[in-house]
Amino acid sequence: MDLRLNDKTAVVTGAGKGIGLAVVEALTAEGVRVVAASRTVTPALKATGAIPVQVDLSDAEGPRRLIETALRELGGLDILVNNVGGGDGGAVGGFLSFEDDIWQAVFELNLFAAVRAVRAALPSLIERSGTIVNVSSNGARVPHAGPVPYTAAKAALTAFGKALAEEFGPQGVRVNTVSPGPVRTAMWEDPNGYGAELAASMGIPHDQLVAGLPDAVGMLTGRLVEPTEVGALIAYLASPLAGSTVGADHVIDGGAIKTA
Protein backbone atom coordinates (compact mmCIF):
# COMPACT_ATOMS: atom_id res chain seq x y z
CA MET A 1 0.00 0.00 0.00
CA ASP A 2 1.29 3.45 -0.92
CA LEU A 3 1.01 5.61 2.20
CA ARG A 4 1.63 8.79 0.15
CA LEU A 5 4.61 9.72 2.31
CA ASN A 6 7.27 10.02 -0.38
CA ASP A 7 9.60 12.99 0.28
CA LYS A 8 8.01 13.78 3.64
CA THR A 9 10.39 14.45 6.54
CA ALA A 10 10.45 12.87 9.99
CA VAL A 11 12.22 12.70 13.32
CA VAL A 12 12.13 9.39 15.18
CA THR A 13 13.50 9.14 18.72
CA GLY A 14 14.82 6.01 20.40
CA ALA A 15 15.67 4.78 16.91
CA GLY A 16 18.68 2.53 17.53
CA LYS A 17 16.75 -0.70 18.03
CA GLY A 18 13.37 -2.24 18.74
CA ILE A 19 10.26 -0.22 17.96
CA GLY A 20 12.17 2.92 16.98
CA LEU A 21 14.29 1.07 14.45
CA ALA A 22 11.18 -0.59 13.03
CA VAL A 23 9.54 2.83 12.63
CA VAL A 24 12.59 4.19 10.81
CA GLU A 25 12.58 1.18 8.49
CA ALA A 26 8.86 1.55 7.77
CA LEU A 27 9.13 5.27 7.05
CA THR A 28 12.26 5.11 4.90
CA ALA A 29 10.65 2.29 2.88
CA GLU A 30 7.88 4.78 2.07
CA GLY A 31 10.36 7.38 0.86
CA VAL A 32 10.42 9.51 4.02
CA ARG A 33 13.62 11.40 4.81
CA VAL A 34 14.29 10.55 8.45
CA VAL A 35 16.49 11.98 11.18
CA ALA A 36 16.89 9.12 13.64
CA ALA A 37 17.89 9.88 17.23
CA SER A 38 19.59 7.37 19.47
CA ARG A 39 22.05 7.26 22.33
CA THR A 40 23.96 4.69 20.30
CA VAL A 41 24.06 4.67 16.50
CA THR A 42 23.78 0.97 15.72
CA PRO A 43 24.84 -0.73 12.47
CA ALA A 44 21.18 -1.60 11.86
CA LEU A 45 20.24 2.07 12.12
CA LYS A 46 23.00 3.11 9.72
CA ALA A 47 21.73 0.52 7.23
CA THR A 48 18.31 2.22 7.00
CA GLY A 49 19.71 5.22 5.17
CA ALA A 50 18.32 7.59 7.80
CA ILE A 51 20.40 10.48 9.14
CA PRO A 52 21.57 9.29 12.56
CA VAL A 53 21.93 11.75 15.43
CA GLN A 54 23.58 10.58 18.63
CA VAL A 55 21.86 12.30 21.52
CA ASP A 56 20.75 11.71 25.10
CA LEU A 57 17.13 12.85 25.20
CA SER A 58 16.93 12.58 28.97
CA ASP A 59 19.19 15.65 29.01
CA ALA A 60 17.06 18.81 29.12
CA GLU A 61 18.77 20.33 26.08
CA GLY A 62 18.89 17.12 24.02
CA PRO A 63 15.45 17.33 22.37
CA ARG A 64 15.91 20.95 21.32
CA ARG A 65 19.32 20.21 19.81
CA LEU A 66 17.87 17.22 17.99
CA ILE A 67 15.04 19.20 16.42
CA GLU A 68 17.37 22.04 15.45
CA THR A 69 19.64 19.50 13.72
CA ALA A 70 16.68 17.93 11.95
CA LEU A 71 15.42 21.28 10.68
CA ARG A 72 18.85 22.07 9.28
CA GLU A 73 19.16 18.67 7.62
CA LEU A 74 15.60 18.35 6.34
CA GLY A 75 14.48 21.94 5.79
CA GLY A 76 11.26 21.38 7.74
CA LEU A 77 9.40 18.71 9.64
CA ASP A 78 6.27 16.77 8.70
CA ILE A 79 6.35 13.91 11.23
CA LEU A 80 7.56 13.58 14.81
CA VAL A 81 7.58 10.13 16.41
CA ASN A 82 8.30 10.31 20.15
CA ASN A 83 9.35 6.73 20.76
CA VAL A 84 12.21 7.09 23.22
CA GLY A 85 11.41 5.50 26.55
CA GLY A 86 12.47 2.99 29.12
CA GLY A 87 14.05 3.56 32.46
CA ASP A 88 12.69 0.24 33.63
CA GLY A 89 16.13 -1.12 34.52
CA GLY A 90 16.42 -1.59 38.26
CA ALA A 91 12.70 -0.95 38.58
CA VAL A 92 11.62 -4.31 39.96
CA GLY A 93 9.74 -3.75 43.18
CA GLY A 94 6.79 -2.00 44.71
CA PHE A 95 6.05 1.67 45.21
CA LEU A 96 8.16 2.03 48.37
CA SER A 97 11.27 0.80 46.58
CA PHE A 98 11.41 3.84 44.26
CA GLU A 99 13.12 6.98 45.51
CA ASP A 100 12.76 10.41 43.91
CA ASP A 101 15.79 10.00 41.67
CA ILE A 102 14.21 7.00 39.93
CA TRP A 103 10.89 8.82 39.45
CA GLN A 104 12.75 11.83 38.06
CA ALA A 105 14.85 9.80 35.64
CA VAL A 106 11.88 7.80 34.35
CA PHE A 107 9.75 10.91 33.79
CA GLU A 108 12.63 12.75 32.09
CA LEU A 109 12.96 10.02 29.48
CA ASN A 110 9.34 8.92 29.03
CA LEU A 111 7.51 12.24 29.31
CA PHE A 112 9.71 15.31 29.31
CA ALA A 113 11.77 14.22 26.30
CA ALA A 114 8.52 14.21 24.30
CA VAL A 115 7.34 17.50 25.81
CA ARG A 116 10.60 19.21 24.85
CA ALA A 117 10.76 17.69 21.37
CA VAL A 118 7.17 18.75 20.64
CA ARG A 119 7.84 22.28 21.89
CA ALA A 120 10.79 22.62 19.53
CA ALA A 121 9.08 20.97 16.56
CA LEU A 122 5.63 22.58 16.69
CA PRO A 123 6.38 25.73 14.66
CA SER A 124 7.44 23.63 11.68
CA LEU A 125 4.68 21.06 12.20
CA ILE A 126 2.06 23.81 12.27
CA GLU A 127 3.49 25.39 9.14
CA ARG A 128 3.43 22.06 7.28
CA SER A 129 0.22 20.59 8.79
CA GLY A 130 2.31 17.79 10.25
CA THR A 131 1.64 14.93 12.60
CA ILE A 132 2.90 13.64 15.95
CA VAL A 133 2.79 10.03 17.12
CA ASN A 134 3.69 9.34 20.76
CA VAL A 135 4.61 5.80 21.79
CA SER A 136 3.08 5.08 25.17
CA SER A 137 2.24 1.65 26.64
CA ASN A 138 -0.81 -0.41 27.47
CA GLY A 139 0.57 -0.11 31.01
CA ALA A 140 -0.86 3.41 30.98
CA ARG A 141 -4.30 1.76 31.11
CA VAL A 142 -3.22 -1.07 33.43
CA PRO A 143 -0.82 0.72 35.79
CA HIS A 144 -0.19 -2.30 38.02
CA ALA A 145 1.24 -4.21 35.04
CA GLY A 146 4.72 -2.70 35.32
CA PRO A 147 6.99 -0.54 37.51
CA VAL A 148 4.83 2.26 38.88
CA PRO A 149 7.12 5.15 37.81
CA TYR A 150 7.15 3.80 34.25
CA THR A 151 3.41 3.20 33.92
CA ALA A 152 2.65 6.56 35.56
CA ALA A 153 4.96 8.34 33.11
CA LYS A 154 3.32 6.56 30.18
CA ALA A 155 -0.13 7.50 31.45
CA ALA A 156 1.03 11.12 31.56
CA LEU A 157 2.36 10.79 27.99
CA THR A 158 -1.01 9.48 26.80
CA ALA A 159 -2.81 12.39 28.47
CA PHE A 160 -0.27 14.79 26.97
CA GLY A 161 -1.09 13.52 23.47
CA LYS A 162 -4.82 14.02 24.06
CA ALA A 163 -4.25 17.60 25.20
CA LEU A 164 -2.01 18.37 22.22
CA ALA A 165 -4.59 17.00 19.80
CA GLU A 166 -7.28 19.21 21.29
CA GLU A 167 -5.17 22.37 21.15
CA PHE A 168 -3.37 21.94 17.84
CA GLY A 169 -5.78 19.80 15.81
CA PRO A 170 -7.65 22.94 14.70
CA GLN A 171 -4.28 24.28 13.46
CA GLY A 172 -3.78 21.24 11.23
CA VAL A 173 -1.49 19.14 13.42
CA ARG A 174 -2.70 15.59 14.01
CA VAL A 175 -1.58 13.98 17.28
CA ASN A 176 -2.11 10.31 18.10
CA THR A 177 -0.76 7.76 20.55
CA VAL A 178 0.25 4.14 20.05
CA SER A 179 0.22 1.94 23.15
CA PRO A 180 1.94 -1.43 22.68
CA GLY A 181 1.77 -4.35 25.04
CA PRO A 182 4.82 -6.60 25.47
CA VAL A 183 6.94 -6.31 22.33
CA ARG A 184 9.77 -8.58 21.27
CA THR A 185 12.49 -6.09 22.19
CA ALA A 186 15.52 -5.88 24.47
CA MET A 187 13.29 -4.77 27.34
CA TRP A 188 12.08 -8.36 27.61
CA GLU A 189 14.75 -10.41 25.83
CA ASP A 190 18.07 -8.79 26.79
CA PRO A 191 19.82 -10.77 29.56
CA ASN A 192 20.48 -7.45 31.31
CA GLY A 193 17.03 -5.97 30.71
CA TYR A 194 13.83 -5.60 32.69
CA GLY A 195 12.59 -9.08 31.75
CA ALA A 196 15.71 -10.71 33.14
CA GLU A 197 15.49 -8.64 36.34
CA LEU A 198 11.83 -9.55 36.75
CA ALA A 199 12.56 -13.25 36.20
CA ALA A 200 15.33 -13.14 38.82
CA SER A 201 13.02 -11.45 41.32
CA MET A 202 10.47 -14.21 40.73
CA GLY A 203 13.06 -16.96 40.98
CA ILE A 204 12.42 -18.39 37.50
CA PRO A 205 14.63 -18.69 34.40
CA HIS A 206 14.57 -15.69 32.08
CA ASP A 207 13.60 -17.73 29.01
CA GLN A 208 10.72 -19.27 30.95
CA LEU A 209 9.35 -15.85 31.85
CA VAL A 210 9.53 -14.60 28.23
CA ALA A 211 7.94 -17.78 26.87
CA GLY A 212 5.09 -17.60 29.37
CA LEU A 213 4.54 -13.84 29.17
CA PRO A 214 1.81 -13.81 26.47
CA ASP A 215 -0.39 -16.24 28.43
CA ALA A 216 0.41 -14.53 31.74
CA VAL A 217 -0.88 -11.15 30.53
CA GLY A 218 -3.77 -12.55 28.50
CA MET A 219 -2.51 -11.94 24.96
CA LEU A 220 -4.99 -13.73 22.70
CA THR A 221 -2.41 -14.12 19.95
CA GLY A 222 -0.20 -16.29 22.17
CA ARG A 223 2.93 -14.37 21.23
CA LEU A 224 4.72 -11.09 21.82
CA VAL A 225 4.01 -8.16 19.53
CA GLU A 226 6.62 -7.76 16.79
CA PRO A 227 8.35 -4.36 16.43
CA THR A 228 7.49 -4.33 12.73
CA GLU A 229 3.79 -4.47 13.60
CA VAL A 230 4.11 -1.34 15.73
CA GLY A 231 6.24 0.34 13.08
CA ALA A 232 3.62 -0.32 10.40
CA LEU A 233 0.86 1.14 12.59
CA ILE A 234 2.86 4.28 13.29
CA ALA A 235 3.70 4.76 9.60
CA TYR A 236 0.01 4.51 8.75
CA LEU A 237 -0.98 7.01 11.46
CA ALA A 238 1.65 9.42 10.15
CA SER A 239 0.25 9.17 6.62
CA PRO A 240 -2.51 11.12 4.84
CA LEU A 241 -4.51 7.87 4.79
CA ALA A 242 -5.20 8.47 8.50
CA GLY A 243 -6.21 12.08 7.93
CA SER A 244 -9.29 11.92 10.17
CA THR A 245 -7.56 10.05 13.00
CA VAL A 246 -6.80 12.64 15.67
CA GLY A 247 -6.46 12.35 19.43
CA ALA A 248 -6.73 8.55 19.38
CA ASP A 249 -4.87 6.01 21.51
CA HIS A 250 -4.25 2.84 19.50
CA VAL A 251 -3.61 -0.18 21.71
CA ILE A 252 -1.59 -2.94 20.03
CA ASP A 253 -1.21 -5.63 22.66
CA GLY A 254 -2.56 -8.90 21.27
CA GLY A 255 -5.85 -8.42 23.11
CA ALA A 256 -4.31 -8.25 26.59
CA ILE A 257 -6.57 -5.38 27.69
CA LYS A 258 -10.10 -6.74 27.97
CA THR A 259 -12.05 -3.55 28.65
CA ALA A 260 -13.62 -1.40 25.93
3-state secondary structure of 215: helix
Burial class (CB in 10 A: 0-12, 13-18, 19+), 51: middle
Distance in angstroms (rounded) separating the CA atoms of residues 174 and 154: 19
3-state secondary structure of 52: strand
Please answer whether residues 9 and 77 qualify as being in contact, where contact means their C-beta atoms are separated by less than 8 angstroms. Answer: yes
Distance in angstroms (rounded) separating the CA atoms of residues 241 and 219: 28
Q: Is 236 a catalytic residue?
A: no
Annotated catalytic residue: which of 66, 84, 149, 150?
Answer: 150
Distance in angstroms (rounded) separating the CA atoms of residues 23 and 44: 12
**Residues with catalytic roles:** 150
